Chains A and B, each alone.
Chain A
Amino acid sequence: MSESVSDADLVERFPWVQISHDSKHHFRGWLDKKLLINRCADCGNWHHPPKPVCPTCWSENLVPTEVEGTGTVHLAMFLRQGAPAPGVDYAKGPHPVVAVELDGTDGVRFSSTVVDLPVEEVIIGLPVELDWIERYGHPFPVFRKREG
């Protein structure tokens, strides 16, 4: 689906982030509900946010690679105020923001929120999995608690 979305349209759909030629694949992935993390086809190292060359070996042979999205909360904070977003109501309670260390990526972290969990249960070390909600009419990656 995202293949048919022009660069101009991509920028239009995500007006709150600066998208570049280096990060456009990552955000196109969102439209298909795929979390794409850059992996170097030459040395195998992962990195995020997307960079123009592999920071390890400088190869330009980077592959936006879909990850399963399971991981562990590494950083966690709770916004009592912050930028506006659909579905985020600071008056109703703190909004969790987490950096999740993604499984199988050698420590790459991806930052978002945790949904459908009381904030006191959002703790560092929590196992989570990727899910998608809708924001401004487009898929937005979030995490939820991983059971088991």
Chain B
Amino acid sequence: MARRNPMRDEIAIVGVGSTEFSRDAGGVSPAKLGAQACIAAIQDAGIDKNEIDGVVGALEPGAPRANQMSAILGLSDITHHSSPMPVAVFALVDAMTAIFSGQCDTVLLYYAFTRAPWNSRSAAQDPFRSYLGGMMSGGLKAPPMPESIDPSAAYTAWAARYIHDYDVPRETFGRVALNMRANAARNPKAAMKTPLTMEAYLEARMIRDPLCMLDMDIPVDGADAFILTTTEKAKKLTKNPVVVHAATAGMVGKNDEDQLPSLARHGQHVVVEALKERSDVWIDDVDVFFPYDGFSIITLGWIENMGFAKPGQAGKWMQDNWDDELGCVMIDGRVPMNPHGGSLSEGASRGTGHLREAVTQLRGDAGERQVHDAKTALIGCGGFFFNSQGAILKRL
């Protein structure tokens, strides 16, 4: 069965707005951060707020729902609204399909993040975040047992399997962290800009061995927002619309975290197969590469499963493509990997940072991080189990 892609290049991103990403935004609610990003995106698109007839807001803990954001911003009549699950491409695809199918013409898409009491000490002391604690436990009366392999613990468990199967050193994971940190230093919005060395990585506190603190994304307060519309309308709005060439989710049936068949067949593989079939371009045509890095093992997975490196060879591949001067990967000396610093160093925006930087690069607005004449961006979003996704964005 050939996969169809009638939406190819038909939906455009015409506005981007972001707050800073910080480890503590102070006394600012996720609703306010979200509103700030939305207003900036609407202004960036140069449209009137009454032109928005679709609102899509990612279902993040503490974030305002689409109906709440519509009320906050005093929007006009809305004919499509939804709050899709994280990570970023679910909401992107929802916005695209709503426009393409005629449910609406112009979508405000936003993602707002707030550090939760269970992953930040200062957040745990914020009385206005205490209600989030109940969301984590899912209404259960006691915390889960340490042996529960939940999604985040599962990445560590499979990282151990990766090390076992391919006999790689911890430096392989460290190189992912170093790449993100060096890039974040060139991104004013990033939360973590202090330089990182391999020695510091190897000495960092272990959380779940074999992964340490620097293998896990950094909880932040912040928000991203986008305006999407038809490519036809986008051409009238802006000189430089960025279009979504292809996008997909991917999952295998057997996706319970500890029952996943193997590292050789999971959600990322489904994403890669679907993207390839739906796209005219592939990795040799890419100018900027965005592998998700909620955990460093996920990045290794994308590098290999996209086809940049053979299974178990992502570490060697990063080494071969390392730019010593910049301190990060430059594929063939030209293509950076998460030039914004990714979730590990810009902040845990669950892929929306990757999406925003892709748009920023394709518009030529990335300042000192700008890839010369960037035309095509490849995003591998999410991990192995039930949130793998991918997207290819192009400058029209």
Interface residues, chain A, CB within 8 Å of chain B?
15-18, 48-49, 55, 74-85, 88, 94-95, 97, 99, 108-109, 111-113, 123-125, 135, 140
- Cβ of B74 < 8 Å from any Cβ of A? no
Residues of B within 8 Å of A113, CB to CB, are: 146-147
Contact B164 A94 (CB under 8 A): no
* B188 CB, nearest partner CB in chain A, Å: 33
CA distance A15 to B143 in the complex (A): 8
| Contact (A99, B258) CB under 8 Å given A16-B140, A55-B253 | yes
The complex places the Cα of A84 from the Cα of B253 at a distance, in Å, of: 32
Interface string of B23-54 (1 = CB under 8 A from A): 00000000000000000000000000000000
For the complex, give the distance between the alpha carbons of A130 and B141 in Å.
Answer: 27
Q: Scoring B residues 111 to 151 as 1 if CB is less than 8 Å from chain A, else 0, what string do you get?
A: 00000000000000000000000000010111111111100
CB neighbors of A among B209-226 (8 A): 209-211
Residue from A48, A83, A123, A124 in contact with B146 in the complex, judged by beta carbons closer than 8 Å: A83
On whether the beta carbons of A80 and B146 are closer than 8 Å, the reply is no
Does the CB pair A81–B148 fall under 8 Å? no
Q: Which of A99, A108, A140 has the most CB of B within 10 A?
A: A99
Which residues of A have CB within 8 Å of B159? 77
A84 contact from B138, B143, B148, B256, Cβ within 8 A: B143
Q: What is the minimal beta-carbon distance from B156 to any residue of chain A, in angstroms?
A: 5
Q: How far is the CB of B264 from chain A (nearest CB, A)?
A: 14
Check if A78 sits within 8 Å of B146, measured CB to CB.
no
Contact between chains at B140 and A97 (CB < 8 Å): no
Do most interface residues of chain B lie in helix, strand or loop, or is the interface mixed? loop
The 9 closest A-B pairs by CB, nearest first: A78-B209, A15-B141, A75-B157, A16-B142, A15-B142, A99-B258, A82-B146, A124-B164, A83-B143
Residue pair A97, B147 in contact (C-beta under 8 Å): yes
Identify the B interface with A (CB < 8 A). Answer: 138, 140-149, 153, 156-161, 164, 205-211, 253-254, 256, 258-259
Additional 10 contacts, C-beta under 8 A, given A83-B143, A99-B258:
A16-B145, A17-B145, A78-B206, A80-B209, A83-B144, A97-B146, A97-B147, A111-B147, A111-B149, A113-B146
Per a CB cutoff under 8 Å, which of B140, B164, B210, B259 touches A109?
Answer: B259
- Please state if B258 and A85 are interface contacts (CB–CB under 8 Å): no
CB distance from B147 to the nearest CB of A (A): 5
Across the interface, B208 reaches (CB within 8 A) one of A79, A84, A88, namely A79
Q: Nearest Cβ in chain B — how far from A98, in angstroms?
A: 8
- Nearest chain B CB to A119 CB, angstrom units: 9
Note all chain B residues with C-beta closer than 8 A to A125: 164
How far in angstroms is the closest Cβ of chain A from B217?
A: 17
Contacts of A48 in B (CB 8 A): 256, 259
Residues of A within 8 A of B144 (CB): 16-17, 83
Cβ-closest chain B residue relative to A51: B256
Contacting pair B140 A111 (CB below 8 A): no
The reply to whether A97 and B259 form a contact with Cβ atoms under 8 Å apart is: no
Listed residue (A109, A111, A125) with the most chain B CB atoms within 10 angstroms of its CB:
A111
Instruction: Give the CA-CA distance A111 to B157 in the complex, in Å.
Output: 11
Closest beta carbon of chain A to B145's beta carbon, Å: 6
**Given that A75-B158, A78-B209 are known contacts, is A109 also in contact with B258, CB under 8 Å in the complex?**
yes
- When distances are taken between beta carbons in the complex, the residues of chain B under 8 Å from A16 are 140-145
- Given contacts A95-B146, A99-B149, A124-B161, A80 and B140 within 8 Å (CB-CB): no
